[in-house]
Chain A
Amino acid sequence: MASLLFCGPKLAACGLVLSIWGVIMLAMLGIFFTTHSAVLIEDVPFTEKDMEDGPTALQNIYKLYNQVGYNCFIAAAIYVGIGFLSFCQVRLNKRKEYLVH
């Protein structure tokens, strides 16, 4: 059980903070991408070809928007995992500190 601890208290705390920030920010980005916000147009990887076809041009762009949005949600889910891991490390570190004293 003791060998499950692989990072010190500071690294674990940093990881926890980073994960919380990552979850919140990536989730919000995902929401903004899936609602096709115009401000984020420069972050969507569209090409000239997507804008060529007349009737489906808009749907192509929306599809790309949704893809990026789902990527963001998946990244947010990965950060949930990393956050949980960091939280466990923080708790293990606290327990180890408690034992020594």
Chain B
Amino acid sequence: MSSLFRSEEMCLVQLFFQTESAHNCISELGHLGLVQFKDLNPGVAAFQRRFVKEVKKCEEMERILSKKSTFEKLEQELREINRNHAALRQNLIELMDIDSLLRMTEDFFEEAESLLTYSEPPSEDSVFIAGVIKQERFPAFEKVLWRLFHGNFVLRHTEMQATEELQARGAVKKDVFIIFVQGDHVREKIRKVCEGFRASLYSCPKTLYERKQMSNSVMTQMEDLRMILRRTEEYRAGVLTRAAEHVQEWGSKVKKMKAIYYTLNLCNIDITQKLIVAEIWCPVSDLTLVQSALIKGSEQSGSSVTPVLNRIQTQQTPPTFNRTNTFTEGFQAIIDAYGVGTYLEINPAPYTIVTFPFLFAVMFGDCGHGLVMTLFAVWVISQAESLRKWKNEVLNDVVIGGRYIILLMGMFSIYTGLIYNDCFSKSFNIFGSSWCVRPMFHAHGNETLHEYHHLQLNPFVPGVYSGDPYVFGIDPVWNIASNKLSFLNSFKMKMSVILGVSHMLFGVALSLVNFVHFRKFQDIFLQFVPQLIFMLSLFGYLIFLILYKWCITLRSETAPSILLLFINMMLFDYQSEHVLLYRGQKGVQIFLVLTAVLMVPVLLLVKPFLIYRTRMKTRHQVGEKDHFICFLLQVSMGDIFVYQAIHTIEFCLGCISNTTSYLRLWALSLAHAELSEVLWRMVLQVGLKISSGMGSLMLVVLFAAFAVLTVTVLLIMEGLSAFLHALRLHWVEFQNKFYEGSGYKFTPLSFDSLLKTQQ
């Protein structure tokens, strides 16, 4: 029967299956996630294992996939697309050059023609060449032309207008130029010069009409090219996204294969090479599930022989398996972080679900902060799946994994905040305060009010204290009292001691359950009972004193301090001027201290003595000649004594130190309350105290600062601090009363958890 109370009963099972069906069977078991494979070849090094080549191949593929590069076919396709794209771009740039050239050469032609008509009659061999050159090269180009033609040419140039599109595609500044020369033979020379300067030449028609035609055709070509380029880019993007999806799929397949081959490495291959033997740990209640998964696997691979399950008895300790759901796995994780429970030991997790958020809330108690924390946790729970995509390790593990813990912490904090009556350091007066001011000053009138700066409400004056305490929590009048801390400190310290001793007594009681389960009845009388009596007679009595003093009416000037009472009790110091709380207190206290002191030798000596006696008996029975062997096989008596002494000292001294350790509940709640008050007084009150109209604007700004500081300092920093201290109280003070924690965790072959860790 599975429950969170105790870890599950596990069994060791031998599996026999055929080599052909091995892959499918293990794949089915991986999807099931309920079996842990034992390493049957522990002495074999990693590189000597049978399937080491396959594992390496899978690792290679994993590496390739993780670099997000594509497979060969995809790669080729992409290269081709890129080449086409580059060529088209080049074309587009050329066409744009021609277009601007044509536009700018209009006026050149007119000017040139007029110049030539003035100087010489127009001859058939006047040549003009038009082209585009990089702007930085133009001055050198001009100089060379001068040297070549000795000024017998006309050269005109303008800067080409850099359009947005060109700039976006990273083009450089270019100039358009046009040269007019006489003579046909110079055409070659000019062409060579232009080649040297890497200027691109374009043929330019002579007549206006032809130029206009060319301009139009260039425009349409450019439009076509632009459209083609856009289509190419879209297609490329589509190909890449489709490939990305496939990469994810392939990645998970490769991971699964690697896990399967790794598992096969753990198994034994029979001498005939046809049979694989595996040993698995699996929960007893899941044997039928495992069997059906194996049958399904062997059917898939088409083999005729079903795998055989053979449960074997073993002396080895099985792993510890606690079946958890999404809610409980967070709490189980924080228990396992300190130590995984011994096999079949009692599991502290179900109690931790309540006590951990409660102890956190005692240290955090503020209903305003608790409300913010609860709302945050509700948001994380509702968005858990989409938040998992954020790759941040810390956020994923802590916040998303612990979202239910945070929710409970917040809800419990609202509760303790209502008890402390603390909401952003202000109190609520829901039920009507039990303290009334008017009767205190009614008799003497206004003189008292005006003369004294510090006024007090004396509960012995009739009418001031109504006699009935505030219905739920701390009375709101304490929020505006100047001796608020004296009252609250006393209250919180005593409360911490009560909670601490109760928590520890509960831990001791759980050890009884463990003893009963493991049938160590001797230990119940030798360990559990003396420990309980020791703790109750000293610290149980302390709690009684606290509660008794709270219940009776005392005058505060003569009330005895509980701490002094306790110290005097331990020192047997009963002088007549000491005030005691009740009649017969001296006798009761002496009796309790003597009882507690008597328990120490019981814890220390009785168990080793009994072990010694049983050894003596068996030695007499076995006889003298086996004396030597017996002596070697057994642990020496000295070790047993020392172990028992350590355990006794740890328990007895630990009682005192652990009880004091619980005082951190008081310390942290005090720190939280003070920080909260300081934040209100120094930040928000500054804005509230401005009574003019500007007050509202200041309030807007200061509230934003107040909110940011509340979240960072009070929620995150104090929250983490209280979380840590509550965790420590569980791990050390609570669990060392009963928890052994020396087991190892059940790690089944599970594809779900494998793929989750990949993401």
Residues of chain A touching chain B, judged by Cβ–Cβ distance below 8 Å, are 18, 21-22, 25-26, 29, 37-45, 64, 67-68, 71-72, 74-75, 78-79, 82
Contacts and interface: CB of A to CB of B under 8 A. Distances in A.
Given A37-B429, A45-B690, A68-B691, A18 B476 contact: no
B704 A18 contact: yes
A19 to B, nearest CB: 9
A23 to B, nearest CB: 10
Contact of A71 (B427, B696, B704): B696
Contacts, number: 66
7 closest A-B pairs by CB: A74-B696, A75-B699, A71-B695, A45-B689, A43-B688, A75-B696, A71-B696
Interface in B353-382: 372
A48 to B, nearest CB: 10
Contact of A40 (B426, B681, B703): B426
Given A26-B703, A75-B696, A75-B703, A39 B688 contact: no
Grouping DSSP codes into helix (H, G, I), strand (E, B) and loop, the B interface class, with mixed when no group exceeds half, is helix
Interface string B664-705: 000000000000000001000100111101011101100110
A74 B696 CA distance: 6
Given A39-B426, A39-B479, A41-B480, A71 B691 contact: yes
B579 to A, nearest CB: 37
Contacts of A45: 688-691
Contacts of B688: 29, 43-45, 68, 71-72
Contacts of B707: 18, 21-22
A37 B700 CA distance: 22
Interface of B: 372, 424, 426-429, 476, 479-480, 681, 685, 688-691, 693, 695-697, 699-700, 703-704, 707
Nearest to B476: A39
A75 B691 contact: no
Tell me which of A18, A43, A72, A74 has the highest count of chain B C-beta atoms within 10 A of its own C-beta: A43
A22 B704 contact: yes
23 contacts: A18-B704, A18-B707, A21-B707, A22-B704, A25-B703, A26-B703, A39-B426, A39-B479, A40-B426, A41-B480, A43-B685, A43-B689, A44-B689, A45-B688, A68-B689, A68-B695, A72-B688, A72-B699, A75-B697, A75-B699, A75-B700, A75-B703, A79-B700
Contacts of A26: 699, 703
A28 to B, nearest CB: 10
A13 B693 CA distance: 29
Tell me which of B424, B681, B699 has the highest count of chain A C-beta atoms within 10 A of its own C-beta: B699
A78 B700 contact: yes
Nearest to A77: B696
Given A39-B426, A39-B428, A75-B703, 4 more contacts: A22-B704, A26-B699, A38-B429, A42-B480
A29 B480 CA distance: 17
A47 B696 CA distance: 20
B699 A71 contact: yes
Contacts of B427: 39
A43 B691 CA distance: 11
Contacts of B693: 71
A64 B691 contact: yes
A38 B685 contact: no
A39 B691 contact: no
Contacts of B372: 21
Nearest to B684: A43
Contacts of A29: 688
A57 B732 CA distance: 58
Contacts of B689: 43-45, 68
A44 to B, nearest CB: 8
Contact of A78 (B479, B691, B696): B696
